[in-house]
Structure 1
Amino acid sequence: MKAILILAHGSREKTTQETLERVTEMTKAQLPEVMIETAYMEFCEVNLENGLDTLIEKGADEIVVIPYFLFEGIHIREDVPGEIHEYQTKHPEVKISLGSTLGSDPRLAGILADRIREVL
């Protein structure tokens, strides 16, 4: 079964987790047939390994990690692939891949334009 792990950076500020939970719930509402969980790089008990474990426990054998990051910085280029590789050596029966960051998607420009309109 294919599953998605949304991976955010994480923060000491607890409201960031609440925000990701809301976004994840909205995403699940749009994709009710897809198994989706969340995890964080830092500052949260639910790290990448724990998130992958949760999906495997729910029956996933193919997982795509979708970074909830705007940019492809060091975490996306090195840290996350390294952690996935390390995890994969312990769980060779599960296929794990890394999806794209949010990047320069035109839909983000629309949201930014809306925020600007709100303050004009």
Structure 2
Amino acid sequence: MGSHGIVLFAHGARDARWAEPFERLATRLRELRGADAGPVSLAFLELMTPDLPSAVADQVSAGACVVTVVPVFFGQGGHIRRDLPLILDQCRAANPSVEIRCSVAVGEDADVIEAIAGYCLRQASS
């Protein structure tokens, strides 16, 4: 039986430093899941590598039978509503034996909003 991979999907930028928080997030997620839970990787829409099809292919090659794509976007803008479904279709067509899931953008989650609100309050009171 294969593993369950997670791909954190972000926009991408020309400046390599832009990806540093996403790399820290991926590292923390790996720590929380443990080594045997399945791969965690990053993928980018543009300007950085790997792209989503490459990241999914790498996870499938590593034995993932389920891959969950987590858009690390604050909202459901055009990239999430328009571009991501097309890319997911490409990934599913290229990997028909793998279940490829996709969550809503992280910024749409109530717990994420609560965490950001708490951060803002701490900043205002320091």
TM-score in terms of structure 1 length: 0.87
Distance in 2 of aligned mates of 1:23 and 1:87: 23
The C-alpha deviation readout for 1:27-63, integer Å capped at 9, x for no partner, is 1111112421111111112111111111011111211
Shift in CA distance, 107/7, structure 1 to aligned 2, threshold 3 Å: closer
Shift in CA distance, 54/111, structure 1 to aligned 2, threshold 3 Å: same
Shift in CA distance, 84/107, structure 1 to aligned 2, threshold 3 Å: closer
CA RMSD of aligned residues (A): 1.7
Distance in 2 of aligned mates of 1:6 and 1:74: 18
Partner secondary structure for residue 48 of structure 2: coil
List gaps (5 residues or longer) in structure 1: none
Distance in 2 of aligned mates of 1:8 and 1:74: 13
Percent identity, aligned pairs only, is 22
Report what 1:15 is aligned to: 17
- 2:82 paired with 1:78: yes
TM-score in terms of structure 2 length: 0.83
**Post-superposition offset of 1:107:** 4.0
Residue 69 of structure 2: which of 53, 65, 70 is its match? 65
Distance in 1 of aligned mates of 2:101 and 2:117: 29
Aligned residue identity for 2:113: L
Shift in CA distance, 85/111, structure 1 to aligned 2, threshold 3 Å: same
List gaps (5 residues or longer) in structure 2: none
Aligned residue identity for 1:84: L
